[in-house]
A and B are shown apart, each in its own frame.
Chain A
Amino acid sequence: MYSKVILALCFVFCTTAYAHEMTPAYPQLKSSYIEGVLSAKMKLFNRRQDVSYYLIEVFTSDFKPIPFASSSISTVSSKVIKVGYNKSKIFDVYIRSNDIDRAVYICTQSKLFKQTDQISLITSRVCSKIKDK
């Protein structure tokens, strides 16, 4: 009985849940202010206390990378976005119209610091599928 109580208490207090979310699931590409470039507006919500940076990626259907630009103004890279804990950020992804037929997924992947005391780490990646062009 006591072991069950301890296990139940441990389930509540020993574990801390953190989440990574990105919407919309099916973004639509629209004409941007640059000719020959389309853009999609995405929203990232960071509920992971252990993560502050997310890498933006664009892939083909078989997860081959596609060149793109983003509206991220992070000092790290134009493809890395800084999002504080419990904060959301809206960002634009710009894709050349030449690459539109190949572009299928827009993803964000959590980036973890290399120097950490934790021995096992979890990287999360959420991918949205570009709505039929």
Chain B
Amino acid sequence: MDIKTITTLAFLMPATAAMAVDSPISGVVEPKCSIWTETAGVYGHPLPYKLTTKPADGGVKASIRVDIAQADYYKTKFTHPNSFSSSPTLTDAVSWTGSTVVGAVGVAGMSAYEAAKVTYNNVTEFNMTLAGSTWFTIESEASYGSTKSLPAGNYTALIVAECIAK
């Protein structure tokens, strides 16, 4: 080996060593619940006295995704509306119905959430025993008086989605 090759190699060696420096990317996984509002839901107006999210009546059901990072740390609660948060003046009573069901699941075992859900008043509770994503579908219907026409104006109703650490 001639002196020229040895000198070139001597210069290259520290240069390659410098390229081997690590550049770490760090991250932390901690128990976390994310509430994703995927579809806000829209009321259809099939009859003068009725507002409903049923697709057959021109409505759109609300869809909420809940992501759980660690299994068995959270429960979720969904409250479908039982009053308008804003509306024109209503002189008669409004009767409300609604429901929350498991729409789709990210892990097969989550299908059991539907059978194990607890429902009271207008609230539905689910025990999130598995990590992953679950989609919940919320339906709501409001009927004014017996068959009275709803006055013209803007109507707003609120769905409450909650994630509570156990």
Contact = CB atoms under 8 A, between A and B. Distances in A.
Interface of A: 14-21, 23-26, 47-48, 50, 105, 112, 114, 116-129
A120 B31 CA distance: 30
A120 B159 CA distance: 8
For the complex of A and B, 8 pairs with smallest distance between CB atoms: A129-B165, A25-B31, A120-B41, A124-B35, A127-B164, A125-B162, A19-B34, A122-B37
Contacts of A118: 40, 156
Contacts of B73: 25
Interface residues of B, number: 41
Nearest to B75: A127
Contacts of B62: 120, 122
Contacts of B156: 114, 116, 118-121
Contact of B161 (A50, A122, A128): A122
B157 A119 contact: yes
Interface of B: 30-43, 51, 53, 62-65, 67, 70, 73-74, 81, 85-86, 140, 154-166
A23 B33 CA distance: 8
A80 B61 CA distance: 30
Contacts of A112: 158
B33 A15 contact: no
A48 B140 CA distance: 22
B158 A123 contact: yes
Contacts of A124: 35, 37, 160-163
Contacts of A128: 165
A15 B38 contact: yes
Contact of B159 (A24, A25, A121): A121
A123 B34 contact: no
A71 to B, nearest CB: 21
